[in-house]
């Protein structure tokens, strides 16, 4: 059942990205191009998503246990550390270069565009490289952010 | 603002918010796509099923939409192969380092009222704005 629920949620998420136009790189770049023909659509997408998710998450937190699992996996990290800042700068730079973030990149695999496939392969490579590099570096105080223990 | 499409943006945004909320209410998971995808790559996690299902749903969405007659746009990526690969590496490495992307920090994190996620979102937005301003208005003249 959780697998079917996940598939269903992925479908709804993908429909949202599709209908809002956020799968289109030129529309995302149009939002990021504040000195050009600025397109505020992405801001409306985020505000509409938050209008549902802010009260929804507050309710989910009060409710406690999810319907199909033992517990809710709320992220526990709260600090603003170096990896958060450096990683966000890197992510933003890559996003600005081509207009793809992970959701639309994966969804666009459906179009079999060679450039999208190359982007997703490089994205997977970047993720694996980062995890390998973290395992190699002997920094015990640097709390491991393994795939399962991340913010999102 | 000739390209501004507030109605479709609002409808799509509500669906994205609804999906994130449903995933939490049903499975107790955060709909952070970089994290969901990264968990599929390593040998470590034993919870690949729901992750693969979510990603499959994402990829199925335009296929289902196309099958019922919706005009699915093909992505415009005029950048060179080198830029595409570099961007992919930055997005992959950066989202793992920061622990989230537009969905995990930008939607779910802000919806949890997490200051950490609000900070991440502000930083990656500004970084992207700077890169676009530079590539479109400085480099291109």
A31-63 residue pLDDT tens: 999 999 999 999 999 999 999 999 999 999 999
DSSP A147: G
| Separation CA A52–CA A44 (nearest Å) | 13
Please name the member of A19, A44, A50 whose beta carbon is closest to the beta carbon of B110. Answer: A50
- A142 interaction partners in chain B (CB closer than 8 Å): none
Q: What's the domain range around A116?
A: 75-152
**One domain for residues A49 and A94:** no
- B24 interaction partners in chain A (CB closer than 8 Å): 56-57, 60, 66, 72
Please name the member of A52, A91, A106 whose beta carbon is closest to the beta carbon of B59. Answer: A106
Please name the member of B94, B98, B132 whose beta carbon is closest to the beta carbon of A29. Answer: B132
**One domain for residues A88 and A148:** yes
Is the minimum CB–CB distance between A143 and chain B shorter than 8 Å? no
Please name the member of B3, B6, B24 whose beta carbon is closest to the beta carbon of A72. Answer: B24
- B26 interaction partners in chain A (CB closer than 8 Å): 2, 5, 9, 66-69
Is the minimum CB–CB distance between B136 and chain A shorter than 8 Å? yes
CB atoms within 10 A of CB B34: 33
Is the minimum CB–CB distance between B71 and chain A shorter than 8 Å? no
**One domain for residues A54 and A87:** no
The per-residue pLDDT for A150 is 60
Are the C-beta atoms of B56 and A94 separated by less than 8 Å?
A: no
Are the C-beta atoms of A46 and A121 separated by less than 8 Å?
A: no
**One domain for residues A80 and A68:** no
Are the C-beta atoms of B112 and A57 separated by less than 8 Å?
A: yes
The total of structural domains in chain A comes to 2
**One domain for residues A68 and A83:** no
Closest CA–CA distance from residue B67 to any residue of chain A (Å): 12
**One domain for residues A143 and A79:** yes
Are the C-beta atoms of B19 and A107 separated by less than 8 Å?
A: no
Residue with tokens 């196309």: B66
**One domain for residues A86 and A152:** yes
Of A54, A74, A94, the last residue of a domain is A74
Please name the member of B57, B89, B108 whose beta carbon is closest to the beta carbon of A152. Answer: B108
**One domain for residues A79 and A122:** yes
The per-residue pLDDT for A143 is 46
**One domain for residues A30 and A67:** yes
ipTM attached to this prediction: 0.96
| Separation CA A51–CA A37 (nearest Å) | 27
Closest CA–CA distance from residue B88 to any residue of chain A (Å): 4
Of A50, A74, A98, the last residue of a domain is A74
| Separation CA A103–CA A89 (nearest Å) | 18
Please judge whether A95 and B87 are an interchain contact, meaning their C-beta atoms are less than 8 angstroms apart.
yes
Q: pLDDT in tens for each of the 141 residues of chain B? A: 779 999 999 999 999 999 999 999 999 999 999 999 999 998 776 789 999 999 999 999 999 999 999 999 998 999 999 999 999 999 999 999 999 999 999 999 999 999 999 999 999 999 999 999 999 999 876
Q: Detail the DSSP E strand segments found in chain B.
A: none
Is the minimum CB–CB distance between B12 and chain A shorter than 8 Å? yes
- B55 interaction partners in chain A (CB closer than 8 Å): 10, 106
Task: Indicate the angle between helix axes B81-98 and A82-98, nearest 10 degrees.
Answer: 150
Residues of chain A with pLDDT under 70: 138-150, 152
**One domain for residues A10 and A62:** yes
The per-residue pLDDT for B33 is 97
Residue B93 is encoded by which pair of tokens?
């490495």
């Amino acid at each position: 059942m959780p697998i079917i629920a996940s598939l269903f949620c992925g479908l709804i998420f993908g429909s949202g990205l599709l209908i809002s136009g956020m799968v289109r790189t030129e529309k995302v770049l149009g939002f990021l191009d504040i000195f050009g023909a600025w397109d505020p659509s992405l801001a409306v997408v985020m505000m509409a998503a938050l209008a549902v998710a802010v009260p929804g998450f507050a309710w989910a937190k009060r409710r406690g246990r999810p319907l199909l699992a033992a517990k809710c996996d709320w992220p526990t990290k709260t600090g603003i550390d170096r990896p958060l800042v450096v990683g966000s700068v890197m992510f933003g730079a890559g996003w600005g270069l081509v207009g793809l973030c992970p959701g639309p990149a994966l969804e666009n695999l459906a179009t079999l565009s060679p450039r999208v496939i190359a982007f997703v392969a490089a994205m997977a490579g970047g993720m694996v490289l980062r995890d390998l590099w973290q395992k190699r570096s002997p920094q015990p105080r640097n709390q491991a952010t393994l795939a399962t223990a991340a913010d999102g | 603002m000739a390209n501004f499409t507030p109605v479709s943006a609002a409808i799509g945004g509500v669906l994205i918010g609804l999906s994130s909320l449903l995933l939490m209410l049903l499975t107790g998971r955060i709909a952070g796509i970089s994290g969901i995808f990264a968990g599929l790559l390593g040998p470590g996690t034993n919870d690949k099923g729901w992750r693969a299902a979510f990603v499959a749903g994402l990829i199925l969405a335009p296929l289902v939409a196309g099958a019922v007659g919706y005009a699915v746009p093909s992505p415009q990526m005029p950048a060179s192969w080198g830029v595409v690969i570099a961007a992919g590496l930055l997005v992959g490495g950066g989202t793992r380092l920061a622990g989230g992307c537009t969905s995990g920090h930008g939607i779910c994190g802000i919806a949890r009222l997490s200051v950490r996620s609000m900070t991440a979102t502000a930083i990656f937005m500004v970084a992207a704005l700077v890169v676009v301003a530079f590539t479109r208005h400085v480099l291109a003249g």
